[in-house]
Structure 1
């Protein structure tokens, strides 16, 4: 049994001073405010719930920074995608596991305690399925288990290269499955997550570019009530091509034909009309925002103020993992709005903390999108929490929501001192307990990949 004592802690009822939390069997068995620390307590300055990372392509961590050289013409998402395809075609299962473990260690060190892995690197480099159709899913699960990061696994259905059922191209061969093979992968993945404590399973039809309407219906049925994630309206070209195919924009088409509800998460949803924005918010589905990647790829700016005003729910993800950081995603989300609207504190209510608004939204929306058991710092809830260092220059003499403002806008990952998942401490002094071993394996893998 572990007992944590936090000088300041963010609970479901607000900030509490001198909170004493008893951990047993991976949960908070007792939570008491206004208590002095006792001998043997693990004492921390600031304690908050761990955040969910609702969208990750773990294998892309290995190519971070490798697409920052301009080509002969204007670089776009579509030119970056070709670089990503070439990188994806090189990786063995062992190498993919090593890269995922590195990404997951970094997520924990930044304050994430669960990841939604949008998993589409399914097959061998030649495109043939592995004898074990869940080989790559098992590698993702192994990396999450090693790191101690909770997992929501989202096997991806990827069948086409563009709207209208156009055949996939050769660069997509590791991703592509027919419906029978995908169904077998989902069932095998269900068995994989059953062996991983706290893990959940959903499905992810990749996008309306990559599946037909019939494919989409089949994929959603395989979710068996679990989360359904899909990329939508990330790029202007995507919107234009969807209009040419169907006469509707991507989010509009999904609203009209897919039956969006709180199980759904639309990743990006960057380019929407005001009507789409309001209808999406009213559906109860979550917007999966990946602000650092969206900025990196030049996607555009999500219409966050209108979406939030309409009651929309959102969470954040690290997507391409070009930079892994919980605070970085939240800060970039707000800063993009400031640049677009030429205002400050755009996503906070009048008189309220922007850091608190971002944190609360990401915690609730991300948890919903990943079918994660919540509860925060409360008795009976999973003991997934993050301690911030009160001695960080950005947190000194802060109280209440100012602690979140200092973490998100001034300190970032360096303020993360310790992390517990299911009551097990995986980060201490800002460093993951397996950082050295995981980092050494990652370095060896990158040495091989970069030499090819």
Structure 2
């Protein structure tokens, strides 16, 4: 198949009269610029751009959107929202998981996302027992992705504790819990599907003990080689304070010192960092997964994007709890938060750059890396997961 676009967003920027040659498997064979449209090419009716990767998704939480927006007694924050989310879990079985995920993935595709990283931690039945197929819920996520056509990176989550230092899990967390051996068996079984990217997601330093994290990272590097490793870190100030009380270091600081974090990693949120942490994380080549609509909804705080991008850090965007499904809104919120904080305009770009274009291209590149998918660019060898701006 050949696509001809009068305007297309290439890695080098906007180009005119672009011919994109796509093979039968959906990969881009070649890209020609300033090319006359051949008779057998399909003329796209609008500018052609790469679809956006969504690096961080909890699909089932889409069904919770709007149900936690009433005030209650006392302070309302991430932790009170989490309590409501745990209650909601009682309603979600395999059929509900697949249905909600399929609806969400359709919404994401319509909004401009073409790939998704599913940070999947709803493993067991409501009583906390493994299903007859321990990967039942993960397979329902796969089925939803296959039915809708979104490209999936499956990130099974390891969750074993309720707080730093290996604290016993809460009863409300029973559907998430694995021991290390059981989790690695699950990952190995899911990874047998070689046509799909499978990574790992140690949930957070709150939920994963030091030795468990080391074992999971070692397994991934040995058995899955270049598979992505995703982890939540420093989303809330309380998390930072609790981490300091546990080990004397902040979450990102601890990761930098103890894990060998590199370009294989995606650190989700990383909201509360010192300047030293910010520069250190940027230097690793890891991707920070920002989820601005969720972070705003939960009152998390504001990511230090100006300092991080000045240090040449990589970023991607995610929907997280999916209170919103619009990638362009996520990018606007990143930019707007910095402007409001610093009381200046165009703070994320250098002289002459477009704020919107720069952020979009950064999120494409970071998202492709975080999902370990050949997407995010109109270029030979990449998948033709593309959007036409015609609405």
Determine whether 1:227 maps to 2:228.
Answer: yes
Q: Which residue of 2 is the match for residue 396 of structure 1? A: none
Measured in 1, the distance between the counterparts of 2:64 and 2:105 equals 15
Q: Which residue of 1 is the match for residue 73 of structure 2? A: 72
Q: Which residue of 2 is the match for residue 217 of structure 1? A: 214
Q: Which residue of 2 is the match for residue 20 of structure 1? A: 19
Alignment of 1:297-308 (within 5 A): 297-308=298-309
Alignment of 1:226-265 (within 5 A): 226-265=227-266
Alignment of 1:268-279 (within 5 A): 268-279=269-280
Measured in 1, the distance between the counterparts of 2:298 and 2:276 equals 26
Measured in 2, the distance between the counterparts of 1:244 and 1:30 equals 55
Describe the SS at the equivalent of 2:306: helix
Q: Which residue of 1 is the match for residue 83 of structure 2? A: 82
Q: Deviations over 1:193-241 (max 9, x none)?
A: 43xx4x3111000000001101111121232321111000000000000
Q: Which residue of 1 is the match for residue 4 of structure 2? A: 5
Q: Which moved more, 1:17-26 or 1:99-108?
A: 17-26
Aligned-residue offset at 1:38: 4.4
Q: Which residue of 2 is the match for residue 59 of structure 1? A: 60
Instruction: Classify 1:368/1:380 alpha carbon distance in 2 versus 1 (closer, same or farther; 3 Å).
Output: closer
Q: Which residue of 2 is the match for residue 97 of structure 1? A: 98
Supply the RMSD in Å over aligned alpha carbons: 1.3
Describe the SS at the equivalent of 1:84: helix
Unaligned runs of 5+ in 1: 390-414, 416-452
Q: Which residue of 2 is the match for residue 378 of structure 1? A: 379
Q: Which residue of 1 is the match for residue 32 of structure 2? A: 32
Unaligned runs of 5+ in 2: none
TM-score (norm 1): 0.83
User: Is the 2:57–2:321 contact (alpha carbons within 8 Å) kept by the matching residues of 1?
Assistant: yes
Measured in 2, the distance between the counterparts of 1:334 and 1:32 equals 33
User: Is the 1:111–1:325 contact (alpha carbons within 8 Å) kept by the matching residues of 2?
Assistant: yes
Q: Which runs of 4+ in 1 moved over 3 A?
A: 35-40
Q: Which residue of 2 is the match for residue 327 of structure 1? A: 328
Measured in 2, the distance between the counterparts of 1:213 and 1:176 equals 16
Determine whether 1:125 maps to 2:126.
Answer: yes
Measured in 2, the distance between the counterparts of 1:376 and 1:251 equals 30
TM-score (norm 2): 0.96
Q: Which moved more, 1:243-252 or 1:19-28?
A: 19-28
Measured in 1, the distance between the counterparts of 2:44 and 2:387 equals 12
